[in-house]
Amino acid sequence: MSKRSTRQNTSPTRQKRKVNEVETTDTPVSKAERLLKYPKSTLTTIDISDLINASTWEILSPESRERLVKLLPPTAFVGYEPSYDRSHPSQSSSTDAMDVDTTFEPNPDILDPSVFTDSHFLAAARTFQDHIYSGWLTDSHKEKVRQYETGIRDGTLAAPWKDEEWERDNAEDDETSSAPADRASTSKACKNNAIEIRLLELAKKSVIRVGDIIAYKRVFTAVNLTVEKDVLVDEINSKGTITVLLQSGTVQHLPTQLLFPDPSDPPAPTQSMEIITPTMLETGILDVDGRIEKSKRPNGNAWKCFTLYRWREDAETNFNLDDVRGGRENHGTLYYLRQSFASEN
């Protein structure tokens, strides 16, 4: 009897303590954060149209609706017609050009209820659910994004080079595609072989030749600057290096004396450089250019930044001094040439 009495007395006390703990931690702010930020939110498990629709809109207070309509585009309201600025310069060539109406004042009374069933609106709402589920709205993730964006702007971080991203994704597609296994494995093997090919090997196989011009170009978004410079392949050395000639400072193109099929000695201030990789060549070019600090240089795929120019077989008759590269033709990027060489061998 005493034991049952003890159980009866302690159970309500334990339950009361749980309620108190919930009340102290589940403040209105924390509930909203849990719903709108964290992956375990119940918003990620419901049909969002059951929550956001014309019926629930009518339940909201006038003050809430006044705030929310400011988040909707003008096209969500009945009777909205876009205004046309006939004085805009674009109107001189087209009467259909539209100037965005920035004077429209949203009004809850003229909200079109069909906006809640519009496919674009529902797609955006479901994307919002996905972002919650993925944890992208948490404070910790937002801080990581802030640090990443700051690092990209000040040059302390480098974004993944888009071509490397493509190669990675494409390699995954090859492995999981419905193409025959031998085709996928061949493609993957070709890519792996290309990665192993060095610049000097391309030179030894005449993919790169003396007299070729290798044009460099890279956009540095962190400092809003594009660096371009041409280098001439002057010598392919037996010791395993390639000698190139380039102009000092920010000068992009080579002097006329170096554009001929059989050029004379390089004039000042032409510089000579020995390189063994595209990355080494890029570093040398940026050092000579002098405008991009080392901390602002991304760790990108240098093979994609260089384009090779070569004369046709009849160079003597097609030499063109009016062209900045003497009439040489574009043979593709070093990346493309390496891939082609790998696939043919």
Q: Span 4-17, mean pLDDT?
A: 42
Reported confidence tier of residue 87, pLDDT bands at 50, 70, 90: low
Q: Span 191-197, mean pLDDT?
A: 75
**Model confidence pLDDT, tens digit, residues 254-293:** 998 898 888 878 777 889 999 999 999 999 999 999 999 8
Q: In this predicted model, which residue has the larger pLDDT, 19 or 101?
A: 101
**Model confidence pLDDT, tens digit, residues 93-125:** 444 444 445 567 888 889 999 999 998 899 889
Check residue 345 and give its pLDDT: 72
Q: Which percentage of the chain shows pLDDT scores above 70?
A: 73
Residue 14, Cβ density class (10 Å: 0-12 exposed, 13-18 middle, ≥19 buried): exposed
309 pLDDT more than 80: yes
Reported confidence tier of residue 153, pLDDT bands at 50, 70, 90: confident
Check residue 209 and give its pLDDT: 94
**Model confidence pLDDT, tens digit, residues 249-265:** 999 999 988 988 888 78
Residues 6+ apart with CB under 8 A from 90: 97
Q: How distant is the alpha carbon of residue 64 from its chain centre?
A: 37
Sheet holding 213-220, edge to edge: 271-275, 242-246, 225-236, 213-220, 306-310, 329-333
Local structure of 182: helix, strand or coil: helix
Determine which helix (DSSP H) or strand (DSSP E) holds 226, and give its type and residue range.
Answer: strand 225-236
Alpha helical stretches, state H, the chain: 2-25, 28-37, 48-51, 54-59, 62-68, 119-133, 139-154, 162-176, 181-196, 199-204, 278-289, 315-318, 334-344
Check residue 249 and give its pLDDT: 93
**Model confidence pLDDT, tens digit, residues 221-252:** 888 899 999 999 999 988 789 999 999 999 99
67 pLDDT more than 90: yes
Check residue 333 and give its pLDDT: 92
pTM check: above 0.75:
no
Mean pLDDT computed over every residue of the chain: 78
Q: Span 49-59, mean pLDDT?
A: 92
